[in-house]
Structures are given as structure tokens and as C-alpha cells.
Amino acid sequence: MTQRITVVPAEGRTVPDPEAGDLLPVEGRQVTFNAWWQRRQNDGDITLQTEQSTTTQQAFTA
């Protein structure tokens, strides 16, 4: 099974998305995790976005 992750470009970085053929949007995008994205993460070009459920987010704000 292919792992999907949500990546967001690091502050001030422009990151190409080879799968989509354009640049990674500022709000991030779900991509297939592979060697390309691992290298971008190692270089500090992207950060992984953790998706918390609404219930978890509400528990932290209560």
C-alpha cells in the first residue's frame, strides 16, 4: 500500500511537485510519500502536516 502524506512548503520555500507538474501550494497538498519527498524533508524544504480530527482539536481548545 502506498503511503499518502500531507506536505507543506517551509517558510519562504518554493517546492516543485513532480506528480502534479506544478509548485506545491502554500496550504500544502496530499502526496505519495517517496524518495523525492523524503529528500525535500531532509533538506528542510517541506514540513509534514499532521491532520488532527475535529474531536481532538476541540479537546485541546476546551
**For the segment 5-51, what is each residue's pLDDT rounded down to a tens digit?**
999 999 999 999 999 999 999 999 999 999 999 999 999 999 999 86
**DSSP class of 45:** S
**DSSP class of 62:** -
Separation between Cα atoms, residue 41 and residue 59, nearest integer Å: 30
What is the reported pLDDT for 18? 96
What is the reported pLDDT for 60? 55
Separation between Cα atoms, residue 28 and residue 42, nearest integer Å: 17
Please name the residue that has the C-alpha cell 517546492: 15
Please name the residue that has the C-alpha cell 475535529: 54
What is the reported pLDDT for 48? 95
Separation between Cα atoms, residue 34 and residue 52, nearest integer Å: 23
Q: 16 vs 53, which has greater pLDDT? A: 16
What is the reported pLDDT for 53? 45
Q: Which three cell numbers stand for residue 57?
A: 482539536
